[in-house]
Chains A and B, each alone.
Chain A
């Protein structure tokens, strides 16, 4: 699994209240999508395009357990790569099926708008402009399988443990 897309850069400690503000917590998925980054980057949801790649700094996704990873997935982003990803947010990436990679040095290696090629086979990231290749942190097989399968809900549905999405 490999993606090439245009990059958008966000800094360190990007929190879940920025990704999905509290006021949107009870909104529908479609309405939540409209509020992504409204406080720190208003209008971004209209600029980001399908297949783009988000680049983050340290501790990306700190904060609450809300479905912020689902909202990022719903923007059409192919995946995200950050210096480090907050533990709770990482769980949510796995479980909502949003491909996420931790990769040291990523923030400096990219200028916003550079094209990135991200591989979820060998977990490398290549900057198409500078040709630099960085090695990301391995995603354990079982977590990668869940991420790729769209998260745990489809799995639980197949096993007859939860009902289908309405």
Chain B
């Protein structure tokens, strides 16, 4: 019986020949990523032994630099942990600072065919590297760090094949919103991506998709390996790995083809992305107070390139705060070198340091009661970005940039030649 890519990865890392839906597997953990929330006083428990310090990555991302005494205390605890076990892969406030999932990509921490866990729900991001990457809870992380293993319930897999080319001003965020709108929740299911469009899709674009799969409630989101991805990882990490291709006779719950040519800019209405999007034309004119481009899904160079292109020579509406938060300091620096940051600031955007920031409603751009935001981040739950009575619409970075100029939700295609 054939296996999907994720079933093969789980089989390989659990020492089984075959893994199938319904199984409960215990797998060895290749990489365990701890982040600042794990060290928060209400969560942290002193770790007395670690399984293997080389498998651990420590990142501070949700509230950096520390925004209050509790986050400062958490980071202090994290630094002590790093010292105690001599953790080498440490991303403190500074040059290597960034959002964990983006750093995992940029530093090649997620090896194809391996298992990666992190106590943050958007860990599925690293599935772009053909990695069994799963967000877990904090106790899971204590378990993985001390014992070097974890468990998964194996679900069925849905396969998506991408065909064609994305039209101008349309991005993978729109493709994601299309999938979420058309098919709704993928709870307890895995998703696998592939198709003839792959060579045209950048790693950043693909990673927007895997990251957003947390919003589908998917278990694992895995791309089929291709040369672009394999080269990307090898350039960043010399460790050998065994990527896993789905078997030709793999069994999928469903196979769906997505024609990229047919996707239009979409906007998700507040509170959920599941079956809740409209074509941008339907919501054009909705007044906004804030616009945000950032997060682990859309804080990449690609995203700032398109935002800068749209904002070049334009001004952010006087009624709107446009907040731009790069995914890592490295991305920030490169965006600066390429002139994107200058363009964005001249247009009236506020560019912050790399952090989760406004995405998680933690700091750097919180919404007041009654305010409306359009965001290119990951999540538009009620109250996500501030007061429970604020509203969060979601679109692509291009749609957010266009909306910031107009002061109301706008179509990015009107701003590109």
Does A58 sit at the interface, judged by CB under 8 A? Answer: yes
Q: How far is the CB of A149 from chain B (nearest CB, A)?
A: 12
Contact flag A86-B136 (CB < 8 Å), given A17-B381, A64-B121: no
Does A87 sit at the interface, judged by CB under 8 A? Answer: yes
Whether A39 contacts B188 by the Cβ 8 Å rule is no
Whether A26 contacts B379 by the Cβ 8 Å rule is no
Whether A23 contacts B140 by the Cβ 8 Å rule is no
Q: Which residues of A contact B134 (CB under 8 A)?
A: 88
Whether A87 contacts B219 by the Cβ 8 Å rule is yes
Does A161 sit at the interface, judged by CB under 8 A? Answer: yes
Whether B188 contacts A84 by the Cβ 8 Å rule is yes
Does A49 sit at the interface, judged by CB under 8 A? Answer: no
Q: Which residues of B contact A59 (CB under 8 A)?
A: 185, 187, 217
Whether B45 contacts A87 by the Cβ 8 Å rule is no
Number of interface residues of A (CB under 8 A): 48
Whether A87 contacts B217 by the Cβ 8 Å rule is yes
Does B47 sit at the interface, judged by CB under 8 A? Answer: yes
Q: Which residues of A contact B155 (CB under 8 A)?
A: 87
B142-150, B238-246, B284-292 - interface stretch: B142-150
Whether B139 contacts A95 by the Cβ 8 Å rule is yes
Contact flag A26-B74 (CB < 8 Å), given A13-B274, A59-B185, A65-B120: yes
CB-CB contacts below 8 Å: A5-49 with B = 13, 15, 17-18, 21-23, 25-29, 32, 38-40
Q: How far is the CB of B285 from chain A (nearest CB, A)?
A: 27
Contact flag A67-B138 (CB < 8 Å), given A40-B382, A153-B45: yes
Does B137 sit at the interface, judged by CB under 8 A? Answer: yes
CB-CB contacts below 8 Å: B123-154 with A = 134-140, 142-143, 146-147, 151, 153
Does B361 sit at the interface, judged by CB under 8 A? Answer: yes
CB-CB contacts below 8 Å: B361-397 with A = 361-362, 379, 381-384, 388
Does B37 sit at the interface, judged by CB under 8 A? Answer: yes
Q: With A and B bound together, what is the CA distance between A58 and B381 in angstroms?
A: 16
Q: With A and B bound together, what is the CA distance between A165 and B117 in angstroms?
A: 24
Q: With A and B bound together, what is the CA distance between A87 and B49 in angstroms?
A: 28
Q: With A and B bound together, what is the CA distance between A66 and B70 in angstroms?
A: 16
Does A142 sit at the interface, judged by CB under 8 A? Answer: yes
| Residues of B bordering A, CB below 8 Å | 24, 37, 40-43, 45-49, 62, 68, 70-71, 74, 119-121, 134-140, 142-143, 146-147, 151, 153, 155, 185, 187-188, 217, 219, 272, 274, 360-362, 379, 381-384, 388
| Residues of A bordering B, CB below 8 Å | 13, 15, 17-18, 21-23, 25-29, 32, 38-40, 58-59, 62-67, 69, 84, 86-88, 90-92, 95-96, 140, 142-143, 151-153, 156-157, 160-165
**With A65-B119, A67-B43 given, can you name 4 additional A-B contacts, CB distance below 8 Å?**
A87-B188, A87-B219, A156-B147, A164-B45
Contacts A/B (CB < 8 Å), 6 sampled: A22-B361, A26-B40, A84-B187, A95-B140, A152-B140, A160-B48
